Structure 1
């Protein structure tokens, strides 16, 4: 099994959160005026769309390399639809453009990437999410 962990903490002086994994950071916030949000970063739906599309962009490169095909520009647009109360993601659509440098049809690369992409496939299968209370260290150490 492979695991990854990210951390999120409040950005001092705001109600936004800074998230990080290794040396990479991202700001998460609500739109300005919504529940104390200042619009300083991405909201959850945007992060979900970025996870879907970002994972797929990486997978296109992995598959192309495995197939021995050089890929140039990739363009991915992800739309996440939300409905209901509480608001839930009900569907996501990804439009993909993938340029092969040898002029070959990129459809095989796209199809294979679709078969292996972790985020989309995890969502399709309904990945369980557990929420647990963390213990706060009040010792000041």
Structure 2
């Protein structure tokens, strides 16, 4: 089994968090004025959208390389729809456009990336999440 661990810690003097994995970092916060948020970073819905779209973007590149196709332009937009109380996501829609260097139809690459996308597959199947408090 392969696993990935990310870490988050509060940013002193704010109510934001700094998250990291390896040498990569990201700031997580709430919108300005919401529960002490200062809008210093991405909120949960934005992070979910970035995970959905970012994973799909990466898989487009993996699949294209395996198929011997060069993608020259990729555009992905993710719309995350939340329940009115913001307690869960009702739906997410990914809109993708890409072009190949030889002008061939990119649909086979898109279809295979859709079938393989780890984040999409995980969300569709439901991922158990356990929260464990430690002293």
- Give TM-score scaled by structure 2 length: 0.97
**Matching of residue 13 in structure 1 with residue 17 in structure 2:** no
* Alignment match, 1:139: none
| Partner Cα separation in structure 2 for residue 134 and residue 95 of structure 1 | 40
The answer for unaligned runs of 5 or more in structure 1 is: 136-141
Q: CA deviation at 1:75?
A: 0.5
User: Structure 1, residues 46-87: CA drift from partner, whole Å, max 9, x if none?
Assistant: 000000000000000000000000111111000010014462
For the aligned residue pairs, the C-alpha RMSD in angstroms reads 0.9
Superposed structure 1 runs of 4+ greater than 6 Å apart:
none
The count of aligned residue pairs is 135
* Inter-partner Cα distance in structure 1 for 2:134 and 2:61: 37
Q: Which residue of 2 aligns with 1:43?
A: 43
Other-structure match for 2:71:
71
Q: C-alpha separation between the residues in 2 aligned to 1:49 and 1:9?
A: 22
What's the CA shift for 1:134? Answer: 2.3
1:73-114, Cα deviation, whole Å (9 max, x unpaired): 111000010014462101000000111101000000000000
- Residue matched to 1:29: 29
User: Corresponding residue for 1:138?
Assistant: none
Give the match's secondary structure for 2:55: helix
What's the counterpart of residue 103 of structure 2? 103
Deviations 1:102-141 (A, max 9, x none): 1000000000000000001100001110000123xxxxxx
**2-side partners of 1:84 and 1:92: how far apart?**
15
User: Counterparts of 1:69 and 1:108 in 2: how far apart (Å)?
Assistant: 10
1:94 matched to 2:91 = no
